[in-house]
Amino acid sequence: MGFLTYPAKGMLRGQRGLNLVDYLLNLGPDSKLRAENLYFFRRTERRRRGFQRYSTEDWSGYIWRGGHEFLDDAGNARLLVFRDNGQLIEIQDGTTSAAVLTGLAANREAYFATAFGSTFMVDSDDALRRLDATSNPLTACTGRVAGVPVPPSLVVTAGTAGGQTGDYLYTATAVIESGGVKLLESDWSDLFSLTLANTKQSGTVTPGAVDTRVTHFYVYRTDAGGAQPKYMTKVTAGAPTFTNENVADTALGAFAPTRLRNIPPPSAPELIAAAGSRLFLAKGRTLYASPRALNAYDCEAFPYEIEIPGAGSIKALCPVPNPGGTPGTNSLLVGLESSCYVL
């Protein structure tokens, strides 16, 4: 058995992949692993006798706890395997491999799902992880903690004279930027109210949790007497204060994103699947869903929680074809210990 799922044209693929032990010559040209020198024995990958010249690495000292092959945005096949020592490895060919993630929980089963060219991983102990391929097919994927940041808190005070007059509401979000582009943004902080009388405003943003990915905090403010916050200013994560901001109502920017949309994923999710342009996580009997996504960043927020009825916990998540529906779409099979549902 093996993880590869791209047989040559004309081959019928079994429900759980192609039997590489018996059909090595049927591997397609887009298969990442040069697997003719490898086979599996008691969940351990071994080098096949007579093919040692294809490999300079010996993987026999590890047990694989999960594997995943996917095509990156450039169409390159990539193979990931999770070792029992808490390392996620990308096998790049028969002679080289690279560590993508290290230091994760040992002896955990890993599960993967690919959405919009990125792959997400859970192992029931660590945070949700995101894996992205590099532009160079010979360079290993990168890995990081996935999910939007935790919302911060905000305190605003009146500053020096010469600013606004009226009743105002303020909120702040934690943001991950790259090259000046906002990638991920947290949900709102609690609203902070302040009455100003010809004064400017100063404030301090306090992170809701330590998250080294956060680069900035965005501060939003309503018009005088208004209810919908608009962008006012941003501060860097290293110096999260602003002093004597003097922004007229007419100079405020775009509205803050919809509240309760950018919710972080649950800690230590157990199962994962991608279906219907959404990413799904399971923990216990609760199913967490991302918004209907347009890109992989949308998949990192989980505003929807569904308590699945039935006894026991969720034991299986699987995308299934959607007969008669839009081509390329699918539904989600949710399996509990006592019952199954299709969403």
Cα 287–Cα 293–Cα 294 angle in degrees, nearest 5: 165
Distance of CA 321 to CAs 6, 73, 331, 339, Å?
19, 23, 6, 20
State in Å, rounded, how far the first CA of the chain is from the last one: 30
d(CA 328, CA 334): 20
pTM of the predicted model as reported, rounded to 2 decimal places: 0.78
At residue 81, the pLDDT reads 87
* Count of beta carbons in the 10 Å neighbourhood of residue 20: 21
- Identify which of 158, 303, 152 has the alpha carbon closest to the alpha carbon of residue 219: 152
d(CA 83, CA 248): 56
- C-alpha dihedral sign at 95, 135, 127, 339: negative
Q: Per the structure block, which two tokens stand in for 286?
A: 């609760």
Q: What is the DSSP string of 220-283?
A: EEPPTT-SS-EEEEEEETTS-EEEEE---GGG--SBPPPTTSSPPPPSS--EEEEETTEEEEEE
At residue 22, the pLDDT reads 41
User: Which uninterrupted H or E stretch holds 181?
Assistant: strand 181-185
Distance from chain centroid for Cα 285: 21
Distance of CA 41 to CAs 56, 68, 69, 106, 225, Å?
19, 18, 20, 20, 70
pLDDT tens track, the chain, 343 positions: 333 333 333 333 334 444 444 444 444 544 544 455 565 566 566 665 554 555 556 666 778 888 888 878 777 778 888 989 999 998 876 567 889 999 999 999 999 999 988 999 999 999 999 999 888 878 889 999 999 999 999 999 999 998 899 999 999 999 999 998 999 999 999 999 999 999 999 999 999 988 999 999 999 999 999 999 999 999 999 999 999 999 999 999 999 999 888 999 999 999 999 998 899 999 999 999 999 988 999 999 999 999 999 888 999 998 887 766 565 568 899 999 888 998 8
User: Which uninterrupted H or E stretch holds 294?
Assistant: none
Q: Per the structure block, which two tokens stand in for 230?
A: 């608009």
Q: What is the DSSP string of 8-69?
A: PTTPPPBTTB--TTT-GGGB-TT-SS-GGGEEEETTEEEEPTT-GGG-S---TT--EEEEEE
Strands 97-101 and 192-206: unpaired
50 backbone φψ class: left, alpha, beta (φ>0; ψ -120 to 50): left
> Any bridge partners for residue 235, and if so which?
217
- Identify which of 14, 7, 22 has the alpha carbon closest to the alpha carbon of residue 69: 7
d(CA 163, CA 244): 8
DSSP conformation class of 7: B
CA-atom Rg of the chain in angstroms:
24
